Amino acid sequence: MPTDTKKRIGILRGGTGRHYKSSLQKGGDIISHISEKLSDKYKPVDILIDKDYVWHVNGVPVNPGNLVNKIDVAWNLSHPSFSNILTSFSIPTIGVGTFLSTLMNNREMFRNHVKSIGISMPRHIVLPVYQKDFDGPQEKYAIKKAKEIFDKFSSPWIVKSLTPDYDMGIHVAKTFPALVNAIDDGVAHKQSIIVEEFISDKIASIHSVPAFRGEDIYAFPAVSVSGSFSSTEREKLASIARYLHRHIDAKHYLKSDFALNSRGKVYLLSVELTPDLKKDSHLHFACESVGSDTRHVVEHILERVS
């Protein structure tokens, strides 16, 4: 196919804030995937927004209004507000809506919304950013908070930043001293942190895509992270994933991570809105299990919006 007939896909990444590095990586992965697997139909165009809000196309500064002559479709991996700019120029855009973005960036709001539609998440405690004047000496703070958590629910615990922070790691604390150390790490990173009970029995991921393979919401077979699942359990998880997909209005793609305890109760652990296209990803194996490929998912997403 001649180059000038290829659809030009603008991959928007960068911007400002804590998601900057993540946006660069995710956008780079999509650029590489389109270049390697879909170059017969699409031409990726790298659109970088730097920390001063200057837009660049393939490294050259550009006025956003001029993008209408440079791309046919935009895939926004940066802040959702940039999608509004793109749509104002009538550029078809793949991205996360403002409501869903707000949910994703406020874990408590997300929890409340998920609870309101009847889906459970593990028990948790939120610890606001440590303030010496209010919380007392730092060397005593972590021990005090660890005791409060221990009294509410037992180990093991997951300890992580309340809002996505790619500098602070995720801790799995199995002992009281490990919990104290994990809380100390949150203090060191000056983060509000969330401590959740760790549901460790069975864990699986479900990938869902709208209007794929003739279904309203197509759910790929569950990819087990730990434990084995019966066909009945897999269908139960798929049903919940489709239900969740509809109720949070994930327009293009959703990955739902679930835990199933020994009593058969399902817990939602986390969600992702951008497909992981690496060769060893859960999505790759989910596609393989039904004779498909990640490029079919990407192509489907692109075709639906263009």
Whether residues 7 and 143 share a domain: the answer is: no
Sign of CA dihedral 50, 56, 60, 65: negative
Cα separation, 55 vs 89, whole angstroms: 15
pLDDT value of position 210: 97
Whether residues 159 and 263 share a domain: the answer is: no
Single residue among 197, 226, 261 that ends a domain in this structure: 197
Whether residues 116 and 210 share a domain: the answer is: yes
Exposure on the CB side of residue 225, measured as CA atoms within 13 A: 17
Residue whose token pair is 């793949």: 94
Whether residues 168 and 229 share a domain: the answer is: no
Whether residues 206 and 281 share a domain: the answer is: yes
Can you state the angle between helices 20-37 and 294-305, rounded to 10 degrees?
100
pTM, entire model: 0.86
pLDDT value of position 107: 78
Sheet holding 157-161, edge to edge: 124-127, 193-197, 157-161, 171-173
pLDDT value of position 2: 44
Whether residues 82 and 208 share a domain: the answer is: no
Number of domains comprising the chain: 3
Cα separation, 58 vs 12, whole angstroms: 11
Single residue among 175, 197, 219 that ends a domain in this structure: 197
Whether residues 252 and 263 share a domain: the answer is: yes
- pLDDT per position in the chain (306 positions), as tens? 444 689 999 999 998 777 788 899 999 999 999 999 999 999 999 999 998 999 999 889 999 999 999 999 999 999 888 988 999 999 999 998 878 888 887 878 898 999 999 999 999 999 999 998 999 998 899 999 999 999 999 999 999 887 765 578 889 999 999 999 999 999 998 888 999 999 877 999 999 999 999 999 999 999 999 889 999 999 999 999 999 999 998 999 999 999 998 889 999 999 999 999 998 999 999 999 999 999 999 999 999 987
Whether residues 225 and 113 share a domain: the answer is: yes
The domain containing residue 255 runs over which residues?
101-120+200-305
